[in-house]
Chains A and B, each alone.
Chain A
C-alpha cells in the first residue's frame, strides 16, 4: 500500500496495530453490547477533494450535502449492517468557471464477528473483525464541457472495529476498512468508445465495461468511520458519524480523492 507521507497518517495506522494487539489479549468475554436491530438515518456535510486527470490537472473541492440510511443487527457476537450513503453537488477548482457535478454513493453490507471483549463498571469495549461487501461510485462530469469520469468499485473489504461503551448513555465505534480485492471501473483510455455509447443506457454500458481486478496495491483505499452514539431512550439514539475515505487508482490516468462526511442523525431500535 502506498501510504501518503503524512506522519499523522502513519502514526494512526501504527496505533491501530498496537491497539489490535492489545485488544487480542483482553480475553474472550461474553458480549458487553446489547442485542438489537435498528434502523438509522443521518444527514450532514461531505467535504470532498479529488484529483482526476481524466478531467483536469486541477484539484476539485466541494462541500456537498450527504445522507446515509442503514439497517443494523447486533447479535450476541455478530454485527451485520446494510448501509447506503450518498452525497453530491457542484465540485469546483481554483479556476472559477469550470465547476462540475459530482456524485458519490456507497452501498455496503458488513459482517463483523466479535473477537474480544472486556468490561467493567466504568467502561466496556469489544473488538470485531470481518468483511464488507461494498459497491462504491464516484462520478464527475460536465455537460457543458462534454466530459465525464468515474471511479466505480465493487470490493470485498477487510474491516476491524472497536466498540467502546463509556457508560450507559455514551458509546463510540471506530471502524477501519481496507479492500482485499476489488473490481475497479474507470473510463477508457481516451473517452468512450462509440460502439459502447450508441443507443440507450449508454452510461450504464460504459461504466460496466473497462473493469480491472485490483488489490490494495493497485487500489490504495482506506475507510475510517467513527460513530458516537448517545442513548436518548430505550428505542432512540442520537448518532454523530465521522467518515473519512481515501481512494487512489492510476489507470488509465490517475484519480486520487478523499472525503470527510460528518453526519448527524438518529437510529431507533426495532
Chain B
C-alpha cells in the first residue's frame, strides 16, 4: 500500500495548498486593477460606455469623447487633474443623475448642475412659510410634506423629497379637501423612490391613465433597451382631490419629483406652472467605485411619452412658463406662487 499512500499524500498536499493559500487569488480571480490615473479613467469611461442609456438621445459620440480626453490622462496625472478631466468629460452628458464623489476629500460633482443650482437661488421656503402661509403650516409625521392654506382660499402642499413613502398624504388631502383649489409645490423637491410618487399621484387621479414608458439598457449597444414598462397614474386612497390644481416646478425638480410632475400634468384638472423640470427620469445606477475610491452613478433608463418623444434632458415642459429672479426672492416676492394663486382665484 505504500504507493497508494504516497499518491494520497501528494494529492492531499497539493489540494490543500491550492485551496488555502492566498496566492490562489491571482490565478483564480485575477489581480486588483492598478490604482493609476490611466486605469481609473479607462474603467470610468468603460462603465459609462457599457451602461449609460442616453448617448444616442443626447447625440454624444462617446468614442470621440474617449479620443478627445484619453490623451490628457497619463502616468503622471495627479488626483486633482484626473478629477478635472473626468468631470469636464462627464459635463458633456449634461445629466444631473451622473454623479462623481471623492468621499475622502469630500469632493462632489453633479453633471449639468448649473441650472439646478440657479433654481435653488430662485426659491425660498421661509418666504413661503412666513409671507404666504402666515406661519400657519403643518408637517406630516415623517416631515416629508408641509401643508397649509393660502389666504384660507387655496390649499398648499410642499413635497420636500421622495425618500419617504408619504403615507400621511390622506391626512393632508382630508385637511385640504375643503378648499376649492390647491397648489402642489415641487420646486426644489428632491428625488427618491417611486412609492411616494405612487401614493401622492393616486390621490389626485380621476381615472387610470397611461402616461409614459421607461426602458432599461440591456446590452452593450447604445440603443439596446428592454421592452417598455408602462407607467400609469392610478387613483388610490379613500379620496381623490379632483378640483383645480396647480403644480409648480423648476429646474431643481428632478427624478422622482418629476415623475410625479409628469403624472399630475397629465390630469385634466391640473395646470403645470413654473420652469421645466430637471429632465432626469432614469433611475440612478447603484453607486460603483473606482480603484482610487471615487464613487460614481449614472442614468441607465430611457423615458418616453406615448408619442415617442422624450422628456429626458428636457424635463416636463410647463403649461405656463414663469420663474422667479434672485432679486424678487431677496425682496420678498415669490412671483411664481403669486401667479399660481391668481390663476386659481
Q: A interface vs B, CB < 8 Å?
A: 4-6, 8-9, 11-12, 15-16, 18-19, 22, 47, 49-51, 55-59, 61, 93-95, 97-98, 120, 122-123, 125, 144-148, 164, 174, 188-191, 193-195, 198, 224, 226, 242, 244, 246, 253, 256-258, 260, 262
Contacts and interface: CB of A to CB of B under 8 A. Distances in A.
Nearest to A144: B287
Nearest to B298: A190
A211 to B, nearest CB: 15
A7 B335 CA distance: 76
A193 B216 contact: yes
Contacts of B226: 193
Given A188-B216, A193-B229, A198-B194, A258 B43 contact: no
Nearest to A195: B229
Contacts of B285: 190-191
A190 B51 contact: yes
B300 A190 contact: yes
B28 A49 contact: yes
Given A15-B10, A145-B295, 13 more contacts: A8-B17, A15-B7, A15-B14, A18-B7, A57-B291, A95-B291, A146-B284, A191-B283, A194-B214, A246-B28, A258-B28, A258-B29, A260-B19
Interface of B: 1, 4-5, 7-8, 10-12, 14-20, 24-25, 27-33, 43, 50-51, 53, 103-104, 194, 214, 216-219, 224, 226, 229, 283-293, 295, 300-301
A9 B295 CA distance: 37
Given A145-B286, A242-B19, A8 B293 contact: no
A256 B51 contact: no
Contact of B29 (A51, A123, A195): A51
B217 A189 contact: yes
Contacts of B24: 6, 49, 258
Contacts of B43: 57
| Closest 10 pairs between A and B when the two form their complex, measured CB to CB | A147-B286, A244-B19, A145-B287, A256-B29, A190-B300, A6-B27, A146-B286, A189-B218, A195-B229, A51-B29
Contacts of B11: 12, 15-16, 19, 174
- Dominant SS at the A interface? mixed
Contact of A5 (B27, B31, B283, B300): B27
B290 A57 contact: yes
A190 B215 CA distance: 11
Contacts of B288: 55-56, 145, 147
Contacts of A148: 286
B216 A58 contact: no
A12 B313 CA distance: 57
Contacts of A125: 4
A244 B28 contact: no
A110 B216 CA distance: 40
Contacts of B290: 57
B287 A147 contact: yes
B29 A49 contact: yes
A16 B12 CA distance: 11
A47 B30 CA distance: 16
Nearest to A96: B293
Given A58-B32, A95-B293, A145-B295, A194 B283 contact: yes
A138 B292 CA distance: 26
A6 B18 contact: yes
Given A15-B10, A122-B1, A244 B217 contact: no
A188 B216 CA distance: 10
Contact of A244 (B1, B18, B214, B300): B18
B37 to A, nearest CB: 15
Given A58-B33, A194-B214, A9 B7 contact: no
Contacts of B30: 51, 59, 256
Nearest to B219: A189
